[in-house]
Amino acid sequence: MSSGEWTFLSNHGHVLVALSRDPDARMRDVAELVGITERAVQQIVRDLVEHGYLHKSKVGRRNRYAVDRAAHFRHQLESRLTVGAFLDLVVPLAP
Protein backbone atom coordinates (compact mmCIF):
# COMPACT_ATOMS: atom_id res chain seq x y z
CA MET A 1 0.00 0.00 0.00
CA SER A 2 1.43 3.33 -0.97
CA SER A 3 1.37 6.31 1.37
CA GLY A 4 -1.63 7.78 -0.48
CA GLU A 5 -3.85 4.71 0.11
CA TRP A 6 -3.99 4.36 3.90
CA THR A 7 -6.96 5.36 6.03
CA PHE A 8 -7.42 6.13 9.71
CA LEU A 9 -10.02 3.42 10.29
CA SER A 10 -9.44 -0.31 10.18
CA ASN A 11 -11.73 -2.63 8.28
CA HIS A 12 -13.48 -3.33 11.60
CA GLY A 13 -14.23 0.37 11.91
CA HIS A 14 -15.45 0.59 8.34
CA VAL A 15 -17.80 -2.38 8.79
CA LEU A 16 -19.16 -0.88 12.02
CA VAL A 17 -19.83 2.44 10.28
CA ALA A 18 -21.48 0.70 7.31
CA LEU A 19 -23.81 -1.32 9.54
CA SER A 20 -24.67 1.68 11.68
CA ARG A 21 -25.74 3.49 8.49
CA ASP A 22 -27.73 0.51 7.19
CA PRO A 23 -28.57 -2.09 9.87
CA ASP A 24 -30.23 -4.32 7.25
CA ALA A 25 -27.29 -4.34 4.83
CA ARG A 26 -26.27 -7.62 3.25
CA MET A 27 -22.71 -8.78 3.81
CA ARG A 28 -22.16 -8.54 0.03
CA ASP A 29 -23.11 -4.86 0.09
CA VAL A 30 -20.92 -4.10 3.11
CA ALA A 31 -18.00 -5.87 1.43
CA GLU A 32 -18.42 -3.72 -1.67
CA LEU A 33 -18.59 -0.50 0.39
CA VAL A 34 -15.54 -1.35 2.48
CA GLY A 35 -13.54 -2.85 -0.38
CA ILE A 36 -12.93 -6.27 1.16
CA THR A 37 -14.28 -9.77 0.56
CA GLU A 38 -17.64 -10.93 1.83
CA ARG A 39 -15.84 -13.61 3.86
CA ALA A 40 -13.72 -10.92 5.56
CA VAL A 41 -16.89 -8.98 6.42
CA GLN A 42 -18.43 -12.12 7.91
CA GLN A 43 -15.37 -12.62 10.15
CA ILE A 44 -15.37 -8.97 11.21
CA VAL A 45 -19.09 -9.13 12.04
CA ARG A 46 -18.42 -12.26 14.13
CA ASP A 47 -15.66 -10.37 15.98
CA LEU A 48 -17.88 -7.34 16.58
CA VAL A 49 -20.78 -9.50 17.81
CA GLU A 50 -18.49 -11.63 20.00
CA HIS A 51 -17.04 -8.52 21.68
CA GLY A 52 -20.41 -6.87 22.16
CA TYR A 53 -20.10 -4.02 19.66
CA LEU A 54 -22.90 -5.39 17.45
CA HIS A 55 -26.07 -7.30 18.24
CA LYS A 56 -27.53 -9.50 15.52
CA SER A 57 -31.20 -10.43 15.18
CA LYS A 58 -33.13 -12.29 12.53
CA VAL A 59 -35.87 -10.40 10.67
CA GLY A 60 -37.53 -12.80 8.27
CA ARG A 61 -34.74 -14.32 6.22
CA ARG A 62 -32.35 -11.41 6.79
CA ASN A 63 -30.15 -10.28 9.64
CA ARG A 64 -30.47 -6.90 11.29
CA TYR A 65 -27.59 -5.36 13.21
CA ALA A 66 -27.72 -2.96 16.13
CA VAL A 67 -24.62 -1.15 17.34
CA ASP A 68 -24.01 -0.96 21.08
CA ARG A 69 -23.41 2.79 21.25
CA ALA A 70 -22.39 2.57 24.93
CA ALA A 71 -19.47 0.22 24.20
CA HIS A 72 -16.01 1.70 24.62
CA PHE A 73 -13.08 1.49 22.24
CA ARG A 74 -10.60 -1.23 23.14
CA HIS A 75 -7.26 0.53 22.77
CA GLN A 76 -6.07 2.41 25.86
CA LEU A 77 -5.59 5.64 23.89
CA GLU A 78 -9.30 5.75 22.97
CA SER A 79 -10.85 3.66 25.75
CA ARG A 80 -12.66 6.65 27.25
CA LEU A 81 -14.53 7.21 23.97
CA THR A 82 -17.80 5.39 23.31
CA VAL A 83 -18.71 3.92 19.97
CA GLY A 84 -21.78 6.15 19.98
CA ALA A 85 -19.71 9.33 20.33
CA PHE A 86 -17.53 8.21 17.44
CA LEU A 87 -20.50 7.33 15.24
CA ASP A 88 -22.06 10.72 15.95
CA LEU A 89 -19.04 12.21 14.18
CA VAL A 90 -19.05 10.00 11.11
CA VAL A 91 -22.64 8.87 10.51
CA PRO A 92 -25.10 11.56 9.46
CA LEU A 93 -28.29 11.83 11.48
CA ALA A 94 -31.47 10.74 9.73
CA PRO A 95 -33.64 13.70 8.65
Bridge partners of 66? 55
Q: What pLDDT, in 10s, does the model give residues 60-74?
A: 999 999 999 999 999
User: Rounded CA gap, 38 and 51, in Å?
Assistant: 20
- pLDDT score for 7: 87
Q: How far is CA 38 from the centre of its chain?
A: 14
Number of structural domains (the chain) is: 1
CATH of the domain at 58: 1.10.10.10
Over the stretch 6-58, which tens digit does the pLDDT of each residue have?
Answer: 888 999 999 999 999 999 999 999 999 999 999 999 999 999 999 999 999 99
Is residue 82 within 8 Å of residue 70, measured between CB atoms?
Answer: yes
Residue 54 forms part of a structural domain: yes
20 domain residue, yes or no: yes
What's the whole-model pTM score? 0.88
Domain encompassing residue 48: 11-90
Spatial separation of the C-alpha atoms in residues 56 and 50, rounded to whole Å: 10
Higher pLDDT, residue 95 or 8: 8
- Residue 3 predicted with pLDDT over 80: no
The answer to whether 24 and 18 have CB atoms below 8 angstroms apart is no
Task: Tell whether 4 is covered by a domain.
Answer: no
Residue pair 72/79 in contact by the 8 Å Cβ criterion: yes
In a domain, 95, yes or no: no
